[in-house]
Structure 1
Amino acid sequence: MGRALGRSLQSAAVIADPTPEQQPQDLPAGDPDHPAHRRIKSFVRRAGRTTEAQARAYADWGPTYLLPYREAPLDFAAAFGRQAPTVLEIGFGMGEATAHIAAVRPQDDFLCCEVHEPGVGALLKRAGEQGLGNIRIVAHDAVEVLQHMVPPASLAGVHIFFPDPWHKKRHHKRRLVQPPFVRQLAEHLATGGYIHCATDWQPYAEQMLEVLSAEPLLANTAAGFAPKPDYRPLTKFENRGLRLGHGVWDVVFRRA
């Protein structure tokens, strides 16, 4: 993963996926933006090699931390073995920041979605070695996890850190932070729950601020962009960017 926290994985993507009524041979060739192809997902699946250590982590720690995807509401208390505020983490990359946040916020539970196998293995290794009991991982599309496994008004927070910015204008529709998805997130927040997004791409930061500001269920916690919350660590990638003069923007909104 070139981007810590999932830049190389988590993004709103338009995936070629035929509807049940339309067989693959009937789809318009060479037009990925044709409506017949569209099904929004929270990721782009990219190549990556799982190391031996990550593979061992699947075997050693998978039974403890991995939850199967299912199209039924998840009982958070049963999944984590306790009753605690639950935060949905969308795209954790190699898991460095996720493990840090879980360690400094032991009072909260973190339901983490990622489909990149090396990243899942890396977080399994970190969680197991650090004894982080407040992490559970669903290795599946976060959009579908939200829709089918997360009960409405149940989340204490949502983290979306450094999603793919899709730099080209014609690809902006593939960005994850769009009004329909933000509405879904807001509807799954408990009263007082928050959405925290971070990006190092200013045009995407401005879009995030605009989209979140337009959602009537949410209120900004700052006058514009927010100061970086203490719990979010600076990643190696982010530190390198800051040394080069690149900016990083956080937005934090709460459900009233």
Structure 2
Amino acid sequence: MNKMPHPPIRSYVLRQGRLTKGQRHAFETYRSRYLLPYDGQPVNLDSLFGRSAERVLEIGFGNGESLLEQALASPDKDFIGIEVHAPGVGHLMVEAERQGISNLRLFQYDAVEVLQACISDGALDVVQVFFPDPWPKKRHHKRRIIQPAFVELLITKLKDGGRLHCATDWTPYAEHMMEVLSALPSLSNVVSAGEYFKGADVFRPLTKFERRGLRLGHTIKDLVFEKRNGHTNS
């Protein structure tokens, strides 16, 4: 696996909010059920979920509504979410417990460090990055999560034929994503070169950020790329 550049990428900028009473209760009561500790060791996903199944990782799940809906709709798949913001993690644990979900586990930690240390190479069938912060000001573009080094890290965690699915309602960021993903020889656009994926709502639930974007008249752009068999990044 390639070494990450110095200084290290961060997948987030911390904006911690206050926890509600219900969210605090979730951290006290449900964390052992849903929240995985970051200990710097690879997680055996078969042992964790008690089975072998398709594995989906979502990075930056916000309040978790999309991830929750997917886990409910696909009990035959296992879902892993990474989110640093405690209110979103707490909210998702509350809802997962209320719905009795067993095919969901969460990390509250930086995505880069989780991927490097806790997720084995070739362990994932799908990686999802939905509506990440677009950082629209040019001087902040370096903070965007979809950057070549980060995507190369994601690719190592995908199985051959695994998919990377990104979505944004900010057209300049969509163009940036397309440029980054298209430049990597180990990825192939499942539609055709330079084309955005249509009909993604069939397997991507509507999120709070998407609804807001649509109200503002933004165009939603989905990018779905597949890892080529036998390809690694040099």
TM-score, normalised to structure 2, is 0.90
Q: Percent identity?
A: 51
CA distance in 2, matches of 1:211, 1:148: 24
Q: Deviations over 1:40-93 (max 9, x none)?
A: 111111031100011111223211111101211110011112211211111111
In the TM superposition, 1:210-221 aligns within 5 A as: 210-221=179-190
Instruction: Answer yes or no: is the 8 Å Cα contact 2:131–2:210 preserved in 1.
Output: no
Q: 1:152 to 1:181 in 2, by over 3 A?
A: same
Residue number among 200, 206, 210 corresponding to 1:234 in the alignment: 206
Deviation at 1:239, TM superposition (A): 2.4
> What's the CA shift for 1:39?
2.8
CA distance in 1, matches of 2:93, 2:51: 20
Where has structure 1 moved over 6 Å in runs of 4 or more? none
Kindly indicate whether the alpha-carbon contact (under 8 Å) linking 2:62 and 2:88 is maintained by their aligned counterparts in 1.
Answer: yes
| 1:146 positional shift | 0.4
More deviation in 107-116 or 239-248?
Answer: 239-248
CA contact (8 A) 2:190 2:226 kept: yes
Alignment partner, residue 81 of structure 2: 112
Aligned residue for 1:145, secondary structure, equals: helix
Report what 1:40 is aligned to.
Answer: 9
Question: Could you tell me which amino acid in structure 2 is paired with residue 245 of structure 1?
Answer: G
The whole-number CA distance in structure 1 between the counterparts of 2:209 and 2:153 is: 30
1:131 aligns with 2:100: yes
Which of 137, 145, 161 is 1:192 aligned to? 161
How much has 1:107 moved relative to structure 2? 1.4
Asked which structure has the greater CA Rg, the reply is: 1
The gaps in structure 2 that reach 5 residues or longer are 229-234
Distance between the aligned counterparts of 1:164 and 1:239, measured in 2? 15
Check whether the contact 1:104–1:231 (CA below 8 A) recurs between aligned residues.
no
Alignment of 1:56 with 2:25, yes or no, is yes
Q: What's the CA shift for 1:168? A: 0.7
Shift of 1:229: 4.1
Q: 1:151, CA displacement in angstroms?
A: 0.7
| Alignment partner of 1:95 is 2:67 | no
Distance 1:236 1:72, change over 3 A: closer
Question: Are 2:217 and 1:248 equivalent residues in the alignment?
Answer: no
Find the aligned partners of 1:216 and 1:241 in 2 and give their Cα distance: 32
Q: After superposition, what is the alpha-carbon deviation per residue over 1:5-48, rounded to whole angstroms, capped at 9, x for unaligned?
A: xxxxxxxxxxxxxxxxxxxxxxxxxxxxxx98x33111111031
Specify the alignment match of 2:128 in structure 1.
Answer: 159
- The answer to whether the aligner puts 1:225 opposite 2:177 as a matched pair is no
Which range moves more in the overlay, 147-156 or 229-238? Answer: 229-238
- Corresponding residue for residue 20 of structure 1: none
Aligned residue type for 2:48: A
* 1:69 partner amino acid: Y
Provide the secondary structure at the position in 2 that maps to 1:40: coil
**CA distance in 1 between partners of 2:16 and 2:76 (Å):** 35
Q: CA deviation at 1:143?
A: 0.6
**Equivalent-residue separation in structure 2 for 1:143 and 1:236 (angstroms):** 24
Q: Does structure 2 conserve the Cα–Cα contact (< 8 Å) formed by 1:102 and 1:109?
A: yes
Residue 119 of structure 2 corresponds to 150
User: What is the CA–CA distance in structure 2 between the aligned matches of 1:45 and 1:78, rounded to whole Å?
Assistant: 32
AA at the equivalent of 1:57: A
What's the secondary structure of 1:125's corresponding residue?
Answer: helix
Aligned positions, number: 221
Gap regions ≥5 residues in structure 1: 1-34
Give me the TM-score of the superposition, normalised by structure 1.
Answer: 0.83
- What CA distance in whole angstroms lies between the structure 2 residues aligned with 1:105 and 1:190? 20
